[in-house]
Amino acid sequence: MPLAIDHAFRDPELLRQALTHRSFGTPHNERLEFIGDAVLNCVIALRLYHRFPGLPEGELSRVRAHLVNRDTLARLARGLGLGAALRLGEGEAKSGGADRASTLADALEAVFGAVAEDGGFAAAGHVIDGVFADLLRDADPAALGKDPKTRLQEFLQARRTALPEYQIVATRGDAHAQSFVVECRIGALDLTAKGEGSSRRSAEQDAAAHALAELQAPGRG
């Protein structure tokens, strides 16, 4: 089960359990997810506390909520190749569970929990730092006060460019646990960006974030 995290497990069974969905059997990853959720929130809170010493508690909570949510965790899990390592029941696998945002997010938290159980809080913090490195580096409390769609709209308005259009291009999973894929199209700039989320709104936000990142990339335009 290759996984792109910087931790060598002393007890490989913990990783195996973290990657086991309840549809596959027991022991599954829900108890480790419980640990991982707590450890993740604590680690991110500590990193933000030290990075932004003047930021009040309410703002710290808002930034943390932006960094630690289901869709962000699912995106990070995909980047680690976690979906391919999951152990799923046959029905769950056939219904697209390996790429379902909720399943991926829960499994990533379970992996963090497994690392904490295997190597302690410091080891889990080290792994979380690696997984969240780019997000923590780029975290800007001022920018995080506005969602990606708003920031993209303001970016385009400042350049007198027509606003983007959003369209659902795919849905995945069962009706009760769907994942949406949305395209953000900016015709005037010949740019199309895709995003994914557990709701249409979150998928649109993800697509807007990708579009804005491309527009702000060095050397564009």
- Which positions are annotated as active-site residues? 37, 109
Instruction: Compute the chain's Rg from CA coordinates.
Output: 18
Q: Print the SS3 string covering 173-192.
A: CCHHHCEEEEEEEEHHHCEE
3-class secondary structure, 190: coil
State the helix-helix crossing angle for 121-131 and 30-51, rounded to 10 degrees: 70
Tokens for 2? 């290759």
The C-alpha atoms of residue 142 and residue 4 are separated, in whole angstroms, by 31
Phi-psi region of 160 (alpha: psi -120 to 50; beta: other; left: phi over 0): left
What single-letter amino acid sits at 40? L
Sort 102 into a burial class: Cβ within 10 Å, 0-12 / 13-18 / 19+: middle
Sheet (strand 191-197) strand order: 165-172, 179-186, 191-197
The C-alpha atoms of residue 58 and residue 204 are separated, in whole angstroms, by 26
